Amino acid sequence: MSATLTAPNLLDLDLAGYESLAVSLGARPFHGRNLFKWVHKHGAFAFDAMTDLPKGLRVALAETVAIRMPQIVEEHRAPDGTTKWALELADGQRIETVAIPEGRRLTLCLSSQVGCALNCAFCATARQGFNRNLSVAEIIGQVWQAVRRLGRVPTNAVMMGMGEPLANFESVVKAMAIMQDDLAYMLAKHRVTLSTSGLVPQIYRLREVSQVSLAVSLHAPTDDLRDLLVPINRKYPLAELIPACQHYVAGDPRRKVTWEYVMLDGVNDSLAQAKQLIRLLEGVHSKVNLIPFNPFPGSAFRTSPPERIAAFQARLMRSGIITLVRKTRGDAVSAACGQLVGRVADRTGRTAVKLALGR
């Protein structure tokens, strides 16, 4: 392609953007739809291969736009079939993407930022600091690359990789819409999940523009403990977070908020804390995912013993809350929840948080 590295990137556009581009180049909107399908459904990046587009349009596209995406530079496959890729961006930063197969199900765990600024205490990504948000092209490019590498379209996509998705609102929402488009990856709305640490205003805003599933990194049943584990709680405490999440699923009894709760030995895993969690979630359509902590170098935490996780789960289940223990996948290649690190030139200048937890 003759377009330069500074030419507009087609992967930054949604379907409407493709239609507008086609019209601006003298073609018809349906040519834009065909182009969108070539790029996402067929994985084409050479305009000459797009044989149902007019030749003049193909020439104009080559002269004015480009198709650029993150490049896979490392691949690690765990014994359980989980695959982790390191993808390098144009500025040399690296992010990580994970593919998790399970029978006919294939879940992609996607990153939304280079690093993360929220500094959750139990997360390896937090140790990397934060550099910048990803563009739409850098988010959807992870899907594009995974589909070509695996030879199949995912059944599920979760915005649970590096970064806080709601801190990159516009690009994440646009990328999720592309994932759901019938001319692209055809993911059902309930099979795309956004995970947030609790940016309350953006949760309300998300309800207005999207119907994806919502997961919330909760990890503590009280403000005192959550302030330590998830520092954004100091800005948006539980009294604000819980109503926002309740509002997100209101009006549809089939929808539930998924609460992510990492199990930390001696920190948040007692039966007394299970009872506090039950009271906290009263009246909210909920599902709780208990996540055995995945250790990483330098972490001060330990994983809760299996019997304590089971007791915690049983107490929640007796109260009527659907509670699952997430199976650890990909830990052999540091691809499990909380282990993604990439390569980040930290612009925040901060060091890892040290918590007063009596250790």
CATH number for the domain that contains residue 126: 3.20.20.70
User: Per the domain annotation, does 340 fall within a domain?
Assistant: no
Residue 29 confidence class, pLDDT cut points 50, 70, 90: very high
Same domain for 126 and 25, yes or no, is no
Is residue 96 among the annotated active site residues?
yes
> Which member of 109, 120, 245, 337 is catalytic?
337
> Which member of 75, 88, 96, 102 is catalytic?
96
Same domain for 107 and 208, yes or no, is yes
User: Per the domain annotation, does 133 fall within a domain?
Assistant: yes
Question: Which two three-digit tokens encode residue 31?
Answer: 């040519």
Same domain for 264 and 171, yes or no, is yes
Same domain for 117 and 60, yes or no, is no
- 105-109/156-159 β-pairing: parallel
User: Is residue 269 helix, strand or coil?
Assistant: coil
Same domain for 39 and 56, yes or no, is yes
Question: At a CB cut-off of 8 Å and minimum separation 6, what does 230 contact?
Answer: 118, 120, 121, 197, 198, 217, 218, 219, 220
Residues 215-262: tens digit of each pLDDT: 999 999 999 999 999 999 999 999 999 999 999 999 998 999 999 999
User: Is residue 338 helix, strand or coil?
Assistant: coil
Task: Please tell me the predicted confidence (pLDDT) of residue 175.
Answer: 98
Same domain for 253 and 321, yes or no, is yes
Number of separate domains in the chain: 2
User: Per the domain annotation, does 1 fall within a domain?
Assistant: no
Same domain for 170 and 253, yes or no, is yes
Domain that holds residue 79: 71-333
User: Per the domain annotation, does 40 fall within a domain?
Assistant: yes
Quick one: how far is CA 88 from the chain centroid?
Answer: 17
Same domain for 38 and 108, yes or no, is no
User: Per the domain annotation, does 4 fall within a domain?
Assistant: no
**Number of alpha carbons in the 13 Å side-chain half-sphere of residue 151:** 0
Same domain for 42 and 163, yes or no, is no
User: Per the domain annotation, does 243 fall within a domain?
Assistant: yes
Same domain for 52 and 83, yes or no, is no
Among the candidates 20, 43, 64, a domain finishes at 64
Among the candidates 44, 64, 84, a domain finishes at 64
Same domain for 84 and 191, yes or no, is yes
User: Per the domain annotation, does 34 fall within a domain?
Assistant: yes
Same domain for 138 and 40, yes or no, is no
Is residue 19 among the annotated active site residues?
no
Residues 277-288: tens digit of each pLDDT: 999 999 999 999
User: Per the domain annotation, does 345 fall within a domain?
Assistant: no
Rounded-to-integer distance, Cα 347 and Cα 109, Å: 24
Rounded-to-integer distance, Cα 54 and Cα 120, Å: 51
- The CATH number of the domain holding residue 47 is 1.10.150.530
* Model confidence pTM above 0.85: yes
Residues 115-155: tens digit of each pLDDT: 888 888 887 766 777 889 999 999 999 999 999 999 999 99
Q: Given a cut of 50, is residue 350 above it in pLDDT?
A: no
Residue type, 224: D
Place of tokens 């480009």: 66
